[in-house]
Amino acid sequence: DTMEQDEQPHRPPQAGNAAAEASPEVEQQRDESEPLSSSQQQRQPALQPPPAETQRAEQQAASSPTIDFFSPDFDAYAALMSPGLQPPKPKVKPLDTVAQCRRILPQEVDGSTAGAPKPAERSAHSVAAQERARQSSREAAARTLRLQAREPILQKMAFAVSEQGPFGVLRRCYQNKQRVKVVTRHHKGVRGTCIGFLMAFDKYMNMVLRDVDEEYTVLIRVVRQCGQKTRDAEDEQSTTGLKTRVCRKQEHRKRHIVQLLIRGDAVVFVGQVD
Amino acid sequence: EEEAALPSLAPDKACRAVHGCVTAWQLRRMSRHVPRSERSLVCVLQAMIGVEVLVELRSDRYLKGMLKDCDDGMNLTLEDATSWSEPTPEDKSGLLPVVFIRASTIRFVHLPPDLDISKAVEHQRRVRQQVSRGSRHSVQPAQSGGKGTEKQEL
């Protein structure tokens, strides 16, 4: 590929000149790193056209000098506009930026950087520093991945609490996968108990229990009719003065739940169940 | 949301010597940063978005519906929920299209029995990581060369 690239500037130096003369303003406006237009890029890496088309193109080139790549009257725009026209070496690697083109232009052409001295070699110190930095970042990434793989989130959450103190009890129950008894509350007073295996917990005492046996109380409004003697003289008409009273009764209920998430502010205390 | 809390990783500030990658200390900080949802059991509920759950409120009320959203404070949004009361379970309400549940009113959340919470939580974390990496790619398309190598290195 590099051989072919070197060949190109020597074959059509006049073509390069013609192109430069044809559009000097355009080249000056262009930035060094501006990529070539997409149509030019598409032209380069095309497949080898069938022989009939190349013959036609050659005939075309022979007929009009504007699209003959090696003629001094070569017009790049006309070449782009003519369909089926292939450059002499279509398999050459495309040049993405104007800077790359400048490097292979012959030195006589304006704007060529062919004879420019190559940038100084990087010092060994700089190369070593870059390698060290790359290595450390790779190690850090690997460490992150290992940590993430080794410690699942729920376990990390459980171990985020201290080993001593109240949460130490919870942590030990979680580690030993023990059955715990959680007492829950109403807005006023104790509601009931949940006994289950502690699957996960956090610093707010939210818990996930499995295989839960819950015994709890529900406050129910019961409408009762109770007889009462009326003392007022007005009620003498009604002999049986029945009064309906709304009593609140505590009803005990039991149930079994497979998996339950308990919010921390409903918890009164947590105890071990042997 | 996680990206906003971290220092901006603008390419000109990133270590040039490490081509296309963040600096080592930034990576360490990112690995230490635990998102708010993963600091509590909210991550379990967030892993259950799209699943039908039964929420028991402190007022002895039940709400059964599809979990639409769960935020970092455990406030829930249910879709197409039915509601009934503990003392009178036969008296069920009609379908409520959208229900917002304040976190402080929740007592229990009955999870589906076949759900493995640790697997669900890990899966959710991986999905969230992929999403966050994808958004970084899409935010700066011009730096696609650098970001591509970063993805490979991580």
pLDDT given at position A73: 85
A144 contacts B27? CB cut-off 8 A: yes
pLDDT given at position A24: 45
| pLDDT tens profile B36-47 | 777 889 999 999
Residue B17 has pLDDT above 60, yes or no: no
pLDDT given at position B26: 78
Residue B28 has pLDDT above 60, yes or no: yes
Of A129, A154, A266, Cβ closest to residue B117: A154
Q: Which two tokens stand for residue B125?
A: 């974390």
Q: Which two tokens stand for residue A201?
A: 């917990």
Cβ pairs A/B, distance under 8 A: 116
Residue A230 has pLDDT above 50, yes or no: no
Query: Residues 203-232, chain A: which have Cβ within 8 Å of B?
Result: 203-204, 206-208, 218-221
Residue A27 has pLDDT above 60, yes or no: no
Choose, out of A127, A139, A153, the residue to mutate when testing the contact with B (most B CBs < 10 Å).
A153
B140/chain A closest Cα distance in angstroms: 19
Q: A130 — phi, psi (to 5°)?
A: -65, -40
pLDDT given at position A146: 73
pLDDT given at position B82: 94
CB of B9 within 8 Å of any CB in chain A? Answer: no
Choose, out of B45, B75, B108, the residue to mutate when testing the contact with A (most A CBs < 10 Å).
B108
| pLDDT tens profile A175-205 | 888 899 999 998 888 999 999 999 999 999 9
CB of A157 within 8 Å of any CB in chain B? Answer: yes
Q: How far apart are CA A3 and CA A10, in angstroms?
A: 11
Does the pTM surpass 0.80? The reply is: no
- Are B62 and B56 in contact by the 8 Å Cβ rule? The answer is yes
Find all residues with CB under 8 Å of B114, minimum gap 6, and list them. none
CB of A19 within 8 Å of any CB in chain B? Answer: no
| pLDDT tens profile A46-88 | 455 555 555 665 565 556 778 888 888 888 888 888 888 888 8
User: What mean pLDDT value characterizes chain B?
Assistant: 77
Residue B148 has pLDDT above 50, yes or no: no
User: What mean pLDDT value characterizes chain A?
Assistant: 75
Alpha-carbon distances, residue A138 vs A132, B18, B124, B133, B154 (angstroms): 10, 10, 25, 17, 7
How far the first Cα of chain A sits from its last, in Å, is 79
Q: How far apart are CA A136 and CA A109, in angstroms?
A: 47
